[in-house]
Structure 1
Amino acid sequence: MNVYAIYKAKFIAQDWVNYFKGNALLRQPIAWEQGISVEAALRGPLVRSLQRFQVGEQGDGLHLRQAAARTLDTHYIAAIDLFVKEEQLHSRLLAGIIEGLGGSLLEQHWSDTCFVWLRRLMGLRMELLVLLLVEVIAQVYYKALHDGTNDAVLRSVFAQIMQDEHGHVTFHCSYLRQSFSQLSPLARWSIYTGWRFLFMLVCCVFIYDHRSVLRAVGITPRTCWRDCMQAFQKMRIFTAA
């Protein structure tokens, strides 16, 4: 099912269950047996960068699942479960790249610890808003990595994750758009203003923390900032359009 076809003003969780199930059937096998070959200048920065993303993808999503369960919407709960499974798949894919490049997996990283803390400050909507900060930046990040290498295995993995991340962003935006529509215009503006400021802060931290790999694939800080802000503007959660 096309993700655009189910991004409606009215959120229907069963449509997203069907989407996630269909997306799982469309996955292409990764030719790991070919090995991974990248230039020396990219190998080290890529491993260090992916290690940090891999830590963030490997969680069990327990807090999010518990928050979703409180909605009492069985279809939404099922959709969140499928979303978490896709994130865990991304963790395994990134682990395969890291180990294929001779790196080791991290047990934790300060950036993931901060995001987990932020996500658990309030309820489901706050958790989804914080998740979206990472998901939107991930769209830009994986596209930069995909376009910045010629290795077939890397491009296959990054292309798959890019497709999934697009679905994730649209899924959460669709839910939040309906949820926030019940608030007053002033409340929506206040939440959006704070959320946008937080996104800009996270974007700055991301660009600095991953500057080595971004430089290695030919992405300047200015370009990365522009692409991230453009991606952020596409999340029309607080507008009628």
Structure 2
Amino acid sequence: MSEPVLTELNNGVLTVTLNRPEKKNAITQAMYAALAEATNRARTDDAVRVLLFRAEGDSFSAGNDIADFIAIGQSGGGQVIDAPVFHFLKALAHLDKPAVAAVRGRAVGIGLTLLLHCDMVVVADDALLSAPFVNLALAPEAASSLLLPMVVGHQRAFEIFALGEPIDGRTAHAWGLANRAVPSDQVDATAAELAAKVAGRAPNSIKKTKRLMRDAERLWALMQEEGEAFGSQMSSPEAMEAFMAFTQKRAPVFG
């Protein structure tokens, strides 16, 4: 059985590959632990100059694994701060080296909000990006309640959150969520080329530039605040109804 998260360091670029294509790269807690480890390695290893996120299969990520969600929600555990997902989010907030993403197919939930922490994003022009947190009776995460409105504006961000409807790669590029929108078969090569270019720049200058552009402590504080809202919703009757409706392929009925 293949590892669900693969890493490879080559010429200063640490490539992290989501490798669960049979599940549309839905992310489990074990995968979050691997992603946190890779992101922390990127920050602390001098051999790493750029972190590149990509995925195998026809989707970047279907978001969080719904089975994990249901299990955590039914246990009443919610989003605890020492869970692997928070280790990954904290690593993202404090990452002071450039991150690049290569996105094909679906990018759902964390598949979209992860991109807000990337400094360069390449999307397929027919990719579909969505953040259906409200559709699952949840709340935004990964500091997206701050970062998404900063990128696309309040009204567009609210529509993405509240309606949960996907936007395609061309729209994502037009709205500022991506640097490039290219045909699907060119995504990986384009992202790798951009990562290689950045890796060739002065590393300390790049790090200082990124640090000046981001407030890591503010992002991490907001992630924890969002986590409280997210966690309280996960164990709510609304969320249980939304999860069951999702698995039963029906519309949820909220009281």
- Using the size of structure 2 for normalisation, the TM-score is 0.29
Q: Which has the higher helix share?
A: 1
- Using the size of structure 1 for normalisation, the TM-score is 0.30
Q: Which has the higher strand share?
A: 2
